[in-house]
């Protein structure tokens, strides 16, 4: 029996006009719909004391707020970042675990795919599509810069990458200060490259781990469909949680660093002139 190893790219189920609807997108939409239902239920709470499912929702939010505050160091930024970081964490976690449900990757239709008749499953883990992980990573990094611009102001935030302010101030301090400022200017350009690397590392890490897990489970199911895949499914539960945590914590770190003004320390060491 030939193993049907899933392709790296998500398969199209149908098209809306010229726009393809893939099985990974269906998985992502199910996750979005689930959290819309959760948000609706949470908004229907009556009374000050939470009960039942509202208690679970409030406990989850309080736990994430506490963990977020450990990184930011203050409650204000923790509350500001929690909607972004918490949404990313819960979406990735739920979509990863949703991909482990029976039928995901195995129930579908036989159709022509890239010139061959293949089984196209109705569902596929959302994070096993590089398009989705790249979009979330790009959103996380761009959001950190938008919040940095709004919090610190354009000049302060952009000076972290292109130290224009340092070059201007160094003109009054002599040739050596100008040389140091030019070196810092070059380092700032490297920082721009590092921002692109952030997007690539975030997206490829999540995609690689989830796609590799899907391939592993497919191989184990092909060898023996009974009992053998069970330990690996528990392993994938752990991997899904770890990857969601890593992605969310890195996003939180980017947001925290983007809202810190590193120029204050340099200004504090400069002597005050009357």
Mean pLDDT across 194-215 = 91
**Virtual torsion, Cα 31, 33, 36, 41, nearest 10 deg:** -100
Q: How confident is the model at residue 159 (pLDDT cuts 50, 70, 90)?
A: confident
Per-residue pLDDT at 4: 62
Q: CA of 157: how far to CAs of 109, 150, 151, 193, 262, in Å?
A: 51, 9, 9, 16, 9
pLDDT at 265 over 90: no
Residue 53 lies in a domain: yes
Average pLDDT, the chain: 82
For residue 20 the two structure tokens come to 């393809």
pLDDT at 226 over 80: no
Cβ atoms within 10 Å, residue 152 = 19
Pairing of strands 116-121, 12-16: unpaired
Per-residue pLDDT at 262: 60
pLDDT at 1 over 60: no
Residue 142 lies in a domain: yes
Residue 273 lies in a domain: no
Residue 29 lies in a domain: yes
Question: Domain containing 67: what range?
Answer: 12-261
Number of domains in the chain: 1
Lowest mean pLDDT, pick from 111-115, 125-129, 201-205, 242-246: 111-115
More confident site: 227 or 126? 126
More confident site: 62 or 228? 62
pLDDT at 166 over 80: no
Distance CA 266, CA 73 (A): 21
62-103 per-position pLDDT tens digit: 999 999 999 998 899 999 999 999 999 999 999 999 888 887
pLDDT at 146 over 90: yes
Percentage with pLDDT > 90 across the chain: 36
pLDDT at 17 over 70: yes
Residue 6 lies in a domain: no
pLDDT at 272 over 50: no
Percentage with pLDDT > 70 across the chain: 81
More confident site: 163 or 245? 245
Distance CA 22, CA 5 (A): 17
pLDDT at 6 over 80: no
For residue 201 the two structure tokens come to 């590392």
pLDDT at 270 over 50: no
Per-residue pLDDT at 264: 45
Residue 270 lies in a domain: no
Distance CA 238, CA 229 (A): 14
Residue 274 lies in a domain: no
For residue 146 the two structure tokens come to 């938008």
Mean pLDDT across 238-259 = 93
């Amino acid at each position: 029996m030939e193993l049907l190893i899933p392709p790296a790219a998500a398969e199209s189920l149908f098209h809306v006009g010229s726009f393809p609807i893939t099985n990974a997108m269906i998985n992502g939409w199910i996750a979005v719909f689930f959290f819309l239902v959760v948000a609706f239920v949470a908004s229907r709470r009556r009374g000050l004391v939470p009960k039942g499912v509202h208690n679970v929702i409030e406990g989850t939010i309080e736990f994430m707020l506490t963990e977020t505050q450990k990184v930011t160091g203050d409650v204000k930024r923790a509350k500001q970042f929690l909607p972004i970081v918490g949404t990313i964490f819960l979406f990735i976690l739920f979509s990863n675990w949703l991909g482990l449900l029976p039928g995901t990757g195995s129930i579908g239709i036989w159709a022509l795919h890239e010139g061959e008749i293949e089984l196209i499953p109705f569902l596929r883990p959302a994070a096993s599509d590089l398009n989705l992980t790249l979009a979330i990573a790009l959103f996380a990094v761009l959001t950190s810069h938008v919040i940095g611009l709004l919090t610190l102001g354009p000049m302060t935030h952009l000076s972290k990458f292109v130290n224009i302010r340092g070059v201007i101030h160094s003109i009054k301090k002599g040739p050596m200060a100008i040389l140091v400022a030019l070196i810092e200017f070059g380092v700032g350009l490297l920082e721009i490259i590092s921002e692109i690397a952030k997007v690539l590392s975030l997206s490829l890490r999540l995609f690689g781990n989830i796609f590799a897990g899907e391939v592993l489970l497919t191989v184990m199911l092909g060898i023996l469909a009974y009992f053998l895949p069970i330990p690996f499914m528990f392993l994938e539960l752990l991997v899904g949680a770890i990857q969601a945590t890593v992605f969310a914590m890195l996003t939180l770190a980017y947001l925290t660093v983007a809202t810190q003004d590193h120029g204050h320390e340099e200004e504090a060491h400069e002597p005050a002139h009357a």
